[in-house]
């Protein structure tokens, strides 16, 4: 996490984005996506010749694209060789379900985060877990002159962040150990937890309190307070947190804010269909 004073760099960022647009586009990936869109628009399954014609590519190129997509379960087929007929695969349904669940979580969370930030005067955010890392989906900046870099899509470690430890609090000890062994426990500050035993002790406290505290573990001088989000399957879908400077967060205030964060997480979870 980085900390910066509020500025007016949005125009500069947009200029950079415009200047680099298309520079990193891969034609092979673009064509594969085109093939998926062609199959999605078709009323029935399609042969290689049909896909090749729609792509403006050779049969061999279209066949290679379709075979690659089929290996990843994004396309399914019936028949053999160039006589195969192709249609969309169920792998897309899995990806679509995950995308919908994340969008749903973001939509559910944002109004509550806006209220939480208004009540606490602290920056707030929502994140999900992907491959052992917390991925920020949305944020609400606090009114202070200091802004925290909590960009959407930002990736954060679980062992040293408020949201990360809130998510770990919903895991069993065995799952916490497995995740720690997979991702490691790198040190970010002098206060970062870097041993599995210490992490397990801290996560047990998270479970007891109902909310997590990152006390300068990810960035010096910064405290994050988090709580988990539970979805309609009663599984942990991610978490929320608030972030502020330690000088403004006494121990008593951390507890009061923690209760607000926990109540907000429960309200978001209920909106997501949680039965807990």
Per-residue pLDDT of 162-197, as tens digits, reads 999 999 999 999 999 999 999 999 999 999 999 999
Q: Quick one: CA dihedral 36, 18, 2, 127, positive or negative?
A: negative
Distance from C-alpha of 49 to C-alpha of 86, rounded to nearest angstrom? 11
Q: Note the pLDDT of residue 162.
A: 97
Could you give the domains of the chain? 27-89 (1.10.10.10), 95-271 (3.30.450.40)
Q: Note the pLDDT of residue 246.
A: 94
Q: What is the pLDDT of residues 88-115, one digit of tens each?
A: 999 998 887 777 667 688 999 999 999 9
Least confident of 2-16, 81-95, 157-171, 199-213: 2-16
Per the CB < 8 A criterion, the answer to whether 222 and 161 are in contact is no
Q: Note the pLDDT of residue 154.
A: 73
Backbone angles phi, psi at 58, to 5 degrees: -75, 160
Q: What is the mean pLDDT of residues 77-87?
A: 85
Neighbours of 269 (CB within 10 A): 25
How sure is the predictor about 264, in pLDDT bands with cuts at 50, 70 and 90? very high
Q: Note the pLDDT of residue 13.
A: 40
Q: What is the pLDDT of residues 7-55, one digit of tens each?
A: 444 444 445 445 545 666 788 899 999 999 999 999 899 999 999 999 9
Top pLDDT among 84 and 138 is at 138
Average pLDDT, whole number, for the chain?
88
């Amino acid at each position: 996490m980085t900390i910066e004073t509020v500025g007016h760099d949005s125009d500069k960022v947009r200029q950079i984005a415009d200047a680099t647009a298309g520079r990193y586009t891969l034609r092979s990936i673009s064509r594969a996506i085109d093939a998926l869109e062609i199959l999605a628009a078709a009323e029935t399954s399609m042969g290689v010749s049909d896909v090749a014609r729609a792509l403006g590519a050779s049969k061999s190129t279209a066949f290679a694209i379709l075979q690659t997509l089929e290996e990843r379960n994004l396309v399914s087929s019936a028949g053999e060789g160039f006589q195969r007929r192709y249609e969309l695969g169920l792998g897309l349904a899995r990806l679509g379900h995950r995308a919908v669940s994340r969008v749903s979580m973001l939509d559910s969370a944002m109004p509550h985060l806006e209220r939480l930030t208004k009540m606490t005067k602290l920056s707030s955010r929502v994140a999900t877990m992907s491959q052992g890392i917390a991925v920020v989906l949305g944020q609400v900046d606090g009114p202070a002159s200091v802004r925290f870099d909590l960009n959407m899509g930002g990736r954060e470690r679980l062992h040293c962040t408020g949201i990360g430890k809130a998510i770990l609090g919903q895991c069993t000890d065995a799952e916490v150990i497995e995740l720690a062994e997979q991702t490691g426990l790198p040190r970010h500050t002098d206060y970062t937890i870097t041993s599995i035993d210490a992490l397990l002790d801290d996560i047990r406290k998270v479970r007891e309190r109902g909310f997590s505290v990152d006390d300068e573990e990810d960035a010096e001088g910064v405290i994050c307070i988090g709580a988990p989000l539970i979805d309609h399957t009663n599984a942990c879908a991610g978490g929320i947190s608030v972030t502020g400077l330690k000088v403004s967060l006494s121990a008593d205030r951390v507890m009061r804010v923690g209760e607000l964060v926990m109540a907000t997480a429960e309200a978001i979870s209920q909106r997501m269909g949680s039965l807990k």
